């Protein structure tokens, strides 16, 4: 069953249906990835997105001129950073029950959202036309939203208030 057809059958426009579909998938992926990261790796992942972005943006290698190469390098550095530094930097999200799960899912959504913002900014709107709707693209690449995604991990770290060793 196609989610866009289902939402279209309910009278929702196709662009809005694409945005709603993306939102549903985004939330589900955030929920699943939050279990994979766990309470110890979520804070390192937030910092890892910044580190991977800096490394890829400042690397002046010829093979990193293409957006797809930048994307692969960014994801590889992010995974490497999380794997390596989660053993060195000890930090965790505290809490119990639904509040704890909400903190984990929100932190993971911020990691994924900031990563999408970084990656989608490397591509032109024409290259993304078949992949994401204009509304979704604007949510990750518009100047205001880029700023929001950039400060969201810092705000999250301030709100969680758990000490990082």
pLDDT tens-digit map of 103-130 = 888 888 998 899 989 998 998 888 887 7
Q: How many residues does the chain have?
A: 165
Please give the structure tokens belonging to residue 1.
Answer: 């069953």
For residue 73, the model assigns a pLDDT of 92
Residue 76 clears pLDDT 90, i.e. is over it: yes
- Lowest-pLDDT choice from 87-101, 105-119, 136-150: 87-101
Q: State what percent of residues in the chain have pLDDT above 70.
A: 81
The average pLDDT across 71-90 equals 86
Q: How far apart (Å, rounded) are the C-alpha atoms in residues 123 and 136?
A: 14
CA distances (Å), origin 135, targets 18, 24, 59, 118: 9, 15, 31, 16
Residue 148's pLDDT is 94
Cα–Cα distance list, 33 to 19, 64, 116, 125, 152 (Å): 21, 27, 15, 28, 18
Q: What is the pLDDT of residue 40?
A: 72
Confidence band for 41, pLDDT divided at 50, 70 and 90: confident
């Amino acid at each position: 069953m196609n989610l866009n057809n289902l939402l279209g059958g309910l009278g929702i426009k196709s662009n809005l249906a694409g945005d709603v579909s993306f939102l549903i998938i985004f939330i589900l992926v955030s929920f699943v990835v939050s279990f994979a990261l766990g309470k110890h790796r979520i804070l390192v992942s937030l910092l890892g997105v910044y580190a991977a972005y800096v490394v890829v943006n400042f690397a002046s290698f010829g093979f990193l001129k293409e957006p797809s190469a930048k994307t692969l390098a960014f994801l590889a550095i992010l995974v490497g950073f999380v794997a390596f530094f989660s053993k060195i930097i000890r930090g965790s999200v505290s809490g119990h029950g639904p509040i704890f799960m909400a903190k984990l899912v929100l932190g993971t959504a911020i990691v994924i959202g900031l990563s999408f913002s970084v990656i989608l900014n490397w591509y032109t709107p024409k290259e993304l036309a078949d992949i994401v709707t204009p509304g979704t693209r604007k949510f990750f690449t518009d100047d205001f939203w880029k700023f929001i995604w950039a400060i969201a991990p810092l705000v999250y770290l301030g709100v969680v208030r758990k000490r990082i060793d």
